[in-house]
Amino acid sequence: MRQAGRYLPEFRETRAAQDFFSTCRSPEACCELTLQPLRRFPLDAAIIFSDILVVPQALGMEVTMVPGKGPSFPEPLREERDLERLRDPATVASELGYVFQAITLTRQRLAGRVPLIGFAGAPWTLMTYMVEGGSSSTMAQAKRWLYQRPQASHQLLRILTDALVPYLVGQVAAGAQALQLFESHAGHLGPQLFNKFALPYIRDVAKRVKARLQESGLAPVPMIIFAKDGHFALEELAQAGYEVVGLDWTVAPEKARERVGKTVTLQGNLDPCALYASEEEIGRLVQQMLNDFGPQRYIANLGHGLYPDMDPEHVGAFVDAVHRYSRLLRQN
């Protein structure tokens, strides 16, 4: 899900040299961090090293990464009039040229070994950080906006959508061969709020990115939507214009398949904490997962990102087990 990460000693070594967002702004550093997991593990794709919060930064908000705490916005959006501080979303792609350079450099270095995946955060998830000023267990301030300032909320979500479309198209133009949209905070919304404030923008991103790629003469790329804890919206997500729906570990694969139908690809969904288990147990859990999903229209993955204290050997055991059991499944 997030390949380059704090669980790799070589990642920590590379990252120690500069602060987080300086690393994000260095195409050479991003390329190196993207390639590190591939040197260790026979992964089937690479995910560009970046962060979803480069978009609010490009809109003019200050974001810092506080060690041990996570992202922090010293001046979050508090009032409706704060939206006037945001830059024109049309300028965002030009602010994020460093991401495009990192993608192009990484594509060149990969030399066709595996495809390269680009990504962005979905509008609602980005809004939560911009309003909360960082991580939150309840998203109460962001949800307060939805209930007290629905019009301003829609205005902000539109600004974010308008920024995301050229950003994602720019990633493809730079060399990304698939795109993943992360609605990491879907679970804080029930079905009603999700259908009103998240889903329309998720749909809009896919529709407009695909149209823009076509207008630009660029080949279409598969798009993946991952809505963490958004199990209440699986059917809607399957019809939102994405080729792949990512699942977290709280969803039973067979039930998910029943609900989304046969035409959409599913991705997921091993509990990342399963990597704390023994290598034998990881093998057993992977076998069960692959049996549950079946061999068609399926990308094996974790159900969320890896944690810093995970043993790289166990990540390797997961990757090897996926390849081993996939071959067995196909033979049978």
- Catalytically active residues, by annotation: 2, 6, 15, 51, 129
Residue 38, CA distances (Å) to 33, 42, 116, 180 in order? 10, 6, 11, 19
Burial tier of 114 (Cβ tally within 10 Å: 0-12, 13-18, 19+): middle
Q: What gap in Å lies between CA 143 and CA 95, rounded to an integer?
A: 29
What CA–CA distance (Å, rounded) separates 198 from 191? Answer: 10
| End-to-end Cα, the chain, rounded Å | 28
Residue with tokens 């990491």: 184
Which amino acid type is present at position 266?
A: L
Strand pairing report for 64-66 and 70-72: antiparallel
- DSSP annotation string for 259-293: HH-SSSEEEEEE-GGGGGS-HHHHHHHHHHHHHHH
User: How far is 51 from 48, CA to CA, in rounded Å?
Assistant: 9
* DSSP state letters, 102-129: HHHHHHHHHTTSS-EEEEEE-HHHHHHH
Long-range contacts of 258-261 (CB under 8 A, 24+ apart): 259/234, 259/235, 260/234, 260/235
